[in-house]
Structure 1
Amino acid sequence: MNNLIKNIEFSNILNLKDLVSYQEGQVISRTLAQTPAVNITLFSLDKNEGISSHVTPGDAMVQILDGTAEITIGDNTFTVKEGETIIMPSNIPHALQACEKFKMLLTVIKN
Structure 2
Amino acid sequence: MPDRKNEPLAGRVLDPKELIAYQDGSVVSRMLVYKKTGIITLFAFDAGEGLSEHTAPFDAIATIIDGEAEITIDKNTFVLNEGQLIIMPANIPHALKAGKRFKMILTMIHE
**TM (normalized to structure 1)?**
0.90
- CA displacement, residues 54-77 of structure 1 (integer Å, 9 cap, x when unaligned): 100000000000000000000210
Q: How does 1:44-55 map to 2 (within 5 A)?
A: 44-55=44-55
The runs of 4+ residues in structure 1 deviating greater than 4 Å are none
In the TM superposition, residue 10 of structure 1 has moved relative to its aligned partner by 2.8
Q: Distance in 1 between matches of 2:81 and 2:107?
A: 17
Q: Which runs of 5+ in 1 are unaligned?
A: 1-5
Q: How many residues align?
A: 106
Q: Distance in 1 between matches of 2:50 and 2:39?
A: 19
User: Does the alignment pair 1:78 with 2:64?
Assistant: no
Read off the aligned partner of 1:92 and give its amino acid letter: I
User: What percentage of residue pairs aligned between the two structures are identical?
Assistant: 49
1:7 and 1:63, CA in 2 relative to 1: closer, same or farther beyond 3 A? farther
RMSD: 1.3
Contact 1:7 1:30 in 2 (8 A): no
Aligned partner of 1:3 in structure 2 is none
1:11 and 1:18, CA in 2 relative to 1: closer, same or farther beyond 3 A? same
- CA displacement, residues 22-66 of structure 1 (integer Å, 9 cap, x when unaligned): 000000000011223301100000001001111000000000000
**TM (normalized to structure 2)?**
0.90
